[in-house]
Amino acid sequence: MQYCGDRVNDITIAYIGGGSRGWAWRLMSDLAVEECMSGTVKLYDIDFEAAQDNEILGNTLFDREDVKGKWQYKAVKTLEAALSGADFIVISILPGTFADMASDVHLPEQYGIYQSVGDSVGPGGLLRALRTIPMYVEIAKKIKKYSPKAWVINYTNPMALCTKTLYEVFPEIKAFGCCHEVFATQKLLASVLRELKGLDGIERSDIKINVLGINHFTWISEANYKNIDVFALYKEFVNAFYQEGYEDGTQKGHWINDSFSSANRVKFDLFKRFGIIAAAGDRHLAEFFPSNWYLKDLDTIKKWKFNLTPVKWRIQDLNNRCEKSKNLVNGRNKFELKESGEEGVKQIKALLGLADLVTNVNILNRGQVTGVPIGAVVETNAVFTRDSLKPVMAGRLPIAIESLVVRHVYNQDTILKASFNKDKELALSAFLNDPLVTIPVDDATQLFNKMIDNSREYLSEWKL
């Protein structure tokens, strides 16, 4: 990353989901510590009071001496108001409620289908997609009308289908999806260098990688640190830690009580099977394979040393963050500035021509991943320069992995068509074709119908 010698002072960012108590705060912090940019962030959320809280919080940063980037935050009541005049658009929304998510994640458990996340693939990913796609259709239409030249950064899952929907509705849109799962794998590769070479203090961005695949089912085929082939070292690392798993030295056994942690055993097993580095967290990776691999039952999940993420945990976490928000807005606590580790602000900076950046993003396949259908949303590295985003040619996955990736790509296409056409039978075919759905067809159909019934309010135009 080359740091800028100039400054841009009049940027307008539209934040859809601007009442967020997580992603929005990360953006605020990253904007505050970046000295090359300033401007206005318009916060739109269906929960207007939450957006107002973030307006108050964001504006408290303006006069702080430790804040380098000076931004004005403004809560707005309509999507049109947020989008009008926007240079950049950030989308980070929760499509539905936690009750909807509970149906996505926990109803399948009654049929023996376990999901560690339930937001990208599997029964939960499909129902979440059916709720989300219509929302993204409307967002895309309004971007086309009110801010057609803006760059659009998507953080919402299911990542591939959200991004694909934007392009289906508005083919000329300048949109890409961002996910931090690859970053964690780069940090793991830094641990490889520490464990096997005694090298400390290596930043994850110092490890140069070739990324290819689809979101949350992403792979690394090359990894280098200076003159060291980290990919070659990874085999030795996997062999050393395969049975026990590997966590950072200060976090031994942390996965047991943490819904988001793992011991990387799924990653290690996939490397032994396929000879390529899996580049997402174990919780996400496990969901892309037949359920009897890693998600057969609770004992199997425990064996592979990762965890399910129950919706009750998400509810408690939101309650905690809402309480934190009150304390921040009322001035009882001070907003802590620190870089989030996300790259949205760096991407904006590069698109403004203030820096060059190469990082992984989700965009349409124009040939950067061989063997995957053109037009599918794939995840590879891309080069960011002034008003330009160009994918890096990533090559081809091993055939055994490619066949699994392509299956999910075609299933995503089926889900998108089912949503656009409001076709329940087509949605059912995608449901039955998901690798996690290994139960008898009659049981799977019954489960599907129950899950659809629980999402009726989002499917009002469907013939159910």
Using DSSP, state whether 43 is helix, strand or coil.
strand
For 221, 354, 404, 405, 409, the CA distances from 397, given in Å and listed in that order, are 8, 34, 10, 9, 14
Task: Tell me how many helices (H) and strands (E) the chain has.
Answer: 17, 15
| Helical axes 441-454 vs 122-146, angle rounded to 10° | 40
CB of 48 within 8 A of CB of 61? no
DSSP state of 350: H
- Report the C-alpha dihedral over residues 391, 283, 110, 427, rounded to 10 degrees: 0
CA distance 464 to 458: 12
Region of residue 383 (left: phi > 0; alpha: psi -120 to 50; beta: else)? beta
CA distance 39 to 31: 10
180 is catalytic: yes
In our burial notation (b when 16+ CB lie closer than 10 A, e otherwise), range 98-125 reads: eebbbbbbbbbeeeebbbbbbbbbbbbb
The catalytic residue among 180, 216, 254, 408 is 180
Q: Which residue, chain included where needed, has tokens 């809560």?
A: 75
Q: Name the burial class of residue 149, with classes exposed (0-12), middle (13-18) and buried (19+) by CB atoms within 10 angstroms of its CB.
A: exposed
DSSP state of 116: S
Q: Which distant-in-sequence residues (6+ apart) come within 8 Å of 421 by Cβ? A: none
In our burial notation (b when 16+ CB lie closer than 10 A, e otherwise), range 193-204 reads: bebeeeeeebeb
**What are the residue numbers of the active site?**
180
